[in-house]
Structure 1
Amino acid sequence: MPKLAVMITRIPPLWLLVFLQTVVSAASLVVEIVAGRMLAPYVGMSLYTWTAVIAVVLAGFSVGHWWGGLMASKPQDTALRQTGWVLLAAALSTGLAVVVLQSIAGPVLGAVTHPLWAIIALCTGAFFLPSLFAGVPAPVLAQIGANTAPDSGRALGALFAAGAIGAIAGTLLAGFVFISYLGSALTLALVALVYVAMALLSFWLAGRLPRAALLASLISLAFAGYALATPSPCDTESKYFCIRTIDVSDRPDAPVNMMVLDHLVHGSSAAHDPTLMYTDHAAMLDALTLLRAPQAGFTSFFIGGGSFSMPRAIAARGNHGAITVAEIDPAVTRTAARDFWFDPASATVLHSDARVALRQNPTHYDIIIGDAFTDIAVPQHLITQEFFELVRKRLTPEGSYLMNVVDYEDNLQTLGAMLRTLATVFPVVEVWVEQRQPVAGARMVFIIAAGTEATPENSFVTRTPDIKRFAALSESMVTRLMARDSLVLTDDFAPVDRLMGLRAD
């Protein structure tokens, strides 16, 4: 008489289910935070980037929860075994996310002209599947906990709380530890390893570990290792930026380097000429600083360092007062010193948010220069009435505030809102731009000068490195720009992303 094979279903203790749910939830939120960091070199880090990431990840979780609910209705050992396979799929898709994103970025950005849809497409292609697979275990574990625990309500509460606690832990670990110390690719490889471990735990709870599962685990880890070996788009991946240095010179004996933070150029410098500016905004800021400085030996405060081209130029000319730079990212400062010939001893560098630095330090400056950008817009907390009032308090009586603004020729809502806001704080507000016929719909660079006195000249010529003429808009034009709307930007409401609008260029 043939023997019957009997499988004894293991009854998992509640604490083990809670542990499994906490770890999977934490891993899934690590992936969500890393997704935003990894998209930045291709589409920047903006409100739209994070909106797309959160939406895509939540969509993946939702589909995963629905699928997990179907699995939860099956016998416990079957549901756990299937959960193990799903977690192996999570490990594989997570480990390959780096390769997938790098592979699809070029075709997607070339085919999808609208930036919002491009962001959603990239995020979906790389991170929807990892989120879907990570969402499957929760309903399965909740069903098992409710069926096996003496108190089903207590079990469900514990498992829901475990999911929330894991999400919190994953978010904090990704933002404060993993990305800073491991980088995006290694973090995802670690998450893939965690998913493999949780998959093996699920198989063990199901009562059997198939050989195919061991093989699939090795394959998942191998692909994660392959992804880890792919070249990173960043020279340095800091807490804040993907930093790259690009040599744009054609003469090895006279190098010119360009700094790219995430996907945008944030400055260029030449080794042989520290006073030569390579962008229109830097050239205008540099020239206006010299024109509006109330005295020789003027003091200056820079909001944002980037390539430190302007602090370097001021220091090279001599006859200046104290130079202070608020650059939030120490890695940017190190890159400027290493690749852009900036001497850290020539300035006081505060690795702090500029608003915090100005609020904490009562020093007064002759010139304050705003040149900080998140994506292509100035950070919201640096364009409000409250911030401009703080700037005014930190200026000497004859001091000036200069800031870089990007807007579109056929829009100018951002420029108008900033002018209206500055006009509530400063008696004189000017707008400077290259003196040429604007191209319809093109992105334009403006410099706003604010203070108690007008600039002594209404135009000037400088190098960018080509010779260009820049001029101030007429008072009537500035008045018309301010009269387009009544919005004054405040800490409570500063919708700069909406004002900039979504553009395909």
Structure 2
Amino acid sequence: MRALYAAVLLLTSAASLVVEIVAGRMLAPYVGMSLYTWTAVIAVVLAGLSLGNGLGGVWSRDDRATASGRLALILAAAALTTAAAVPLIRAVAPWVEGLGLGVVGRIGLMTLILFLPPSLFAGMAAPMLTRLAMAARPDRPGATLGIMYAMGSAGGIAGTLLAGYVFISWIGTIGTLLAVAAVYALCALPFAFMARRAAPRRTALAGATTGLLAGALGLWTHTAGALAPACTVESDYYCIRTADFSADSGRPSTLMVLDHMVHGINDRDDPALLYAPYVALTDRLARVRLGLIGPEAPPVRAFFVGGGAYTLPRAWAATLPEAEIVVAEVDPAVTRAARDHAWFDPASIARILHGDARRALRDWPVDRPFDIIVGDAFHDFSAPPHLSTQEFARLIRARLAEGGLYLMNVVDDAHDPRFLLALVRTWRTVFPTVEVWADREQLAGSGRITYLMLAADAPTPVAALTGAMVGDPQDPRVGLRWQPPALAARVAADGDLILTDDLAPVDRLLAPVANAGG
């Protein structure tokens, strides 16, 4: 019996940690994947386990038959509430979205509704199993207690490793949650059998009720179409989705979403059509700065921090045949998705480095500098902190050729861009010129927009760039530079924070944007 109790504790502890890891990925298509997501998930799961531990201790009994019946019910409830998260998220997400909460509020409420119940029931099992194990060997309480604690910890470690390295990659979030529900149900069976011998009627009634609830849940899941995956591809890093954009563009085109954010829109027939304003501005500004306009454009060596849909590398490969283009994309599945669903030909560019961009740049030969480096990496709407710091700026400058430039897309608030201002202040400690550009139409709005930060040795000779709107030549697209004196005044008034590898509070600086739900 002690072996059974220890094995069930190992399995339920592993299952509860699998749910914690899966929860973040499951929420990503609806609220993004950020520090706020993981903070909410960890806090809610720990709260559920802690509350469950307390309630389970109150419910603990030495009487094996009574305790077995309660354990069977608790584990069945854990199975049902875990499986219920699959259809429930599709019903809860639109409702929470309609409440008008900020990102943090939406993340917290969805996590609470979906993952507190399964964590609560999983937490209740541990003290009850431990009490039964100690009652089975009353002569060795200390050893028994130590073994049960060790099994719980070992289960947590195993669940974390299996979720991160095996389950999500091989069977996806839906398959993983259903597998966890099955584990809870299987763990409930021996306790239901033991309880049946002592109270057959009560056990039969509880079993019939559980069966009816499971049947209703299965019907709801099927009716809601909840078993259909939310992702086109579910990789080790992202929920990757592609969608037809033709209805908006009037041409065969597709967009790619990583977790919760669009990372590129590709046109099938003309790679040079750039639908997103910030991508078009990046292209226009780079061409003006590097003299890439006209048939006599010089050869250029370019490095892209992040691939996404490979929209701009694809455009440059088609229009600048002499360019040497290198892309660092951390997720090979993103490259495959762009190839399979967004008409990207990996052979059209020089090199694709699957790994962290900072490491790739650090290992790049110093004697082969780049004319331009483009930063286009995001976690949801925030930039990876290690790609924002003073140390990274120094690495960028060391890998740029004379007269080269760095362009970085920055998502921030239209009127109070605290992260952008800290970024400008930081990069000015390394580069003589740091400019901020934005699309005029976006600047006229509110909420969050995408800025373009430029770092170089010399300023851009113009203060505005005009380019025809893709698909509508009568609607010119204009990029504006933040006037240097006004930008300097805002940066000075904002404070003195310099982003470093030791302190780069990107999420704190972007908290107003997240809370505004822009």
TM-score by length of 1: 0.92
1:279-308 deviations in Å (ceiling 9; x for gaps): 111011111221223781111111111111
- Is 2:244 the counterpart of 1:241? no
| Change in 2 beyond 3 A, CA 1:391/1:156 | same
- Is 2:321 the counterpart of 1:308? no
- Is 2:301 the counterpart of 1:291? no
Hey, what's the Cα distance between the residues in 2 that align with 1:241 and 1:365? Answer: 29
SS state of the match for residue 378, structure 1? coil
Unaligned runs of at least 5 residues, structure 2: 292-296
Which residue number corresponds to residue 174 of structure 2? Answer: 185
- The answer to whether the 8 A contact 1:95-1:221 is kept is no
Which residue number corresponds to residue 371 of structure 2? Answer: 366
| Change in 2 beyond 3 A, CA 1:99/1:437 | closer
1:222-244 deviations in Å (ceiling 9; x for gaps): 54697486222222222222222
- The answer to whether the 8 A contact 1:279-1:464 is kept is no
Give the alignment of 1:443-458 within 5 angstroms. 443-458=448-463
- Is 2:457 the counterpart of 1:460? no
Report the alpha carbon displacement of residue 207 of structure 1 after superposing the two structures with TM.
6.9
AA aligned to 1:160 is Y
- Is 2:508 the counterpart of 1:503? no
SS state of the match for residue 101, structure 2? coil
Which residue number corresponds to residue 54 of structure 2? Answer: 66
SS state of the match for residue 278, structure 1? coil
Hey, what's the Cα distance between the residues in 1 that align with 2:325 and 2:377? Answer: 17
Which residue number corresponds to residue 37 of structure 2? Answer: 49
1:151 equivalent among 134, 140, 150: 140
Hey, what's the Cα distance between the residues in 2 that align with 1:400 and 1:251? Answer: 33
Hey, what's the Cα distance between the residues in 1 that align with 2:442 and 2:230? Answer: 37
- The answer to whether the 8 A contact 2:376-2:409 is kept is yes
| Change in 2 beyond 3 A, CA 1:254/1:321 | same
- The answer to whether the 8 A contact 2:62-2:132 is kept is no
| Change in 2 beyond 3 A, CA 1:112/1:124 | farther
Report the alpha carbon displacement of residue 468 of structure 1 after superposing the two structures with TM.
0.8
Give the alignment of 1:159-238 within 5 angstroms. 159-204=148-193, 206=195, 208=197, 210-212=203-205, 215=208, 223=217, 227=221, 230=226, 231-238=228-235
- Is 2:271 the counterpart of 1:282? no
Structure 1 range deviating more: 220-229 or 462-471: 220-229
| Change in 2 beyond 3 A, CA 1:216/1:328 | farther
Report the alpha carbon displacement of residue 24 of structure 1 after superposing the two structures with TM.
0.2
AA aligned to 2:478 is R
Structure 1 range deviating more: 451-460 or 487-496: 451-460
Unaligned runs of at least 5 residues, structure 1: 1-11
| Change in 2 beyond 3 A, CA 1:251/1:495 | closer
2:481 equivalent among 472, 476, 498: 472
| Change in 2 beyond 3 A, CA 1:351/1:221 | farther
Identity score, percent: 44
AA aligned to 2:174 is A
Report the alpha carbon displacement of residue 81 of structure 1 after superposing the two structures with TM.
1.6
1:62-89 deviations in Å (ceiling 9; x for gaps): 2211221111145232112211111011
Give the alignment of 1:241-280 within 5 angstroms. 241-250=238-247, 254-280=251-277
AA aligned to 2:298 is A
| Change in 2 beyond 3 A, CA 1:225/1:297 | farther
- The answer to whether the 8 A contact 1:296-1:319 is kept is no
- The answer to whether the 8 A contact 2:134-2:140 is kept is yes
Report the alpha carbon displacement of residue 129 of structure 1 after superposing the two structures with TM.
0.8
2:124 equivalent among 136, 149, 169: 136
Hey, what's the Cα distance between the residues in 2 that align with 1:226 and 1:157? Answer: 42
| Change in 2 beyond 3 A, CA 1:247/1:463 | farther
Structure 1 range deviating more: 147-156 or 29-38: 147-156
- The answer to whether the 8 A contact 1:25-1:166 is kept is yes
| Change in 2 beyond 3 A, CA 1:112/1:64 | farther
| Change in 2 beyond 3 A, CA 1:301/1:177 | same
Which residue number corresponds to residue 355 of structure 2? Answer: 352
- The answer to whether the 8 A contact 1:434-1:470 is kept is yes
Which residue number corresponds to residue 105 of structure 1? Answer: 93
SS state of the match for residue 516, structure 2? coil
Hey, what's the Cα distance between the residues in 2 that align with 1:240 and 1:317? Answer: 31
Structure 1 range deviating more: 93-102 or 264-273: 264-273
Which residue number corresponds to residue 6 of structure 1? Answer: none
- The answer to whether the 8 A contact 1:192-1:220 is kept is no
TM-score by length of 2: 0.90
Which residue number corresponds to residue 5 of structure 1? Answer: none
- The answer to whether the 8 A contact 1:430-1:450 is kept is yes
- The answer to whether the 8 A contact 1:46-1:374 is kept is yes
2:23 equivalent among 13, 35, 38: 35
| Change in 2 beyond 3 A, CA 1:321/1:168 | same
Hey, what's the Cα distance between the residues in 2 that align with 1:205 and 1:165? Answer: 26
Hey, what's the Cα distance between the residues in 2 that align with 1:199 and 1:485? Answer: 58
| Change in 2 beyond 3 A, CA 1:67/1:74 | farther
- The answer to whether the 8 A contact 2:447-2:516 is kept is no
Aligned residues: 493
Report the alpha carbon displacement of residue 498 of structure 1 after superposing the two structures with TM.
1.2
| Change in 2 beyond 3 A, CA 1:227/1:330 | farther
SS state of the match for residue 136, structure 1? helix
Report the alpha carbon displacement of residue 214 of structure 1 after superposing the two structures with TM.
5.5
Which residue number corresponds to residue 3 of structure 1? Answer: none
CA RMSD of aligned residues (A): 2.2
Hey, what's the Cα distance between the residues in 1 that align with 2:212 and 2:155? Answer: 27
Structure 1 range deviating more: 359-368 or 334-343: 359-368
Hey, what's the Cα distance between the residues in 2 that align with 1:173 and 1:133? Answer: 21
| Change in 2 beyond 3 A, CA 1:42/1:432 | same
Hey, what's the Cα distance between the residues in 1 that align with 2:11 and 2:63? Answer: 23
Structure 1 range deviating more: 239-248 or 249-258: 249-258
Hey, what's the Cα distance between the residues in 2 that align with 1:328 and 1:225? Answer: 39
Report the alpha carbon displacement of residue 220 of structure 1 after superposing the two structures with TM.
6.8
Hey, what's the Cα distance between the residues in 2 that align with 1:461 and 1:320? Answer: 25
Which residue number corresponds to residue 331 of structure 1? Answer: 333
SS state of the match for residue 427, structure 2? helix
Hey, what's the Cα distance between the residues in 2 that align with 1:219 and 1:195? Answer: 17
Report the alpha carbon displacement of residue 456 of structure 1 after superposing the two structures with TM.
3.5
Give the alignment of 1:122-133 within 5 angstroms. 122-133=110-121
- The answer to whether the 8 A contact 2:427-2:455 is kept is yes
Report the alpha carbon displacement of residue 216 of structure 1 after superposing the two structures with TM.
6.0
SS state of the match for residue 80, structure 2? helix
Structure 1 range deviating more: 436-445 or 322-331: 436-445
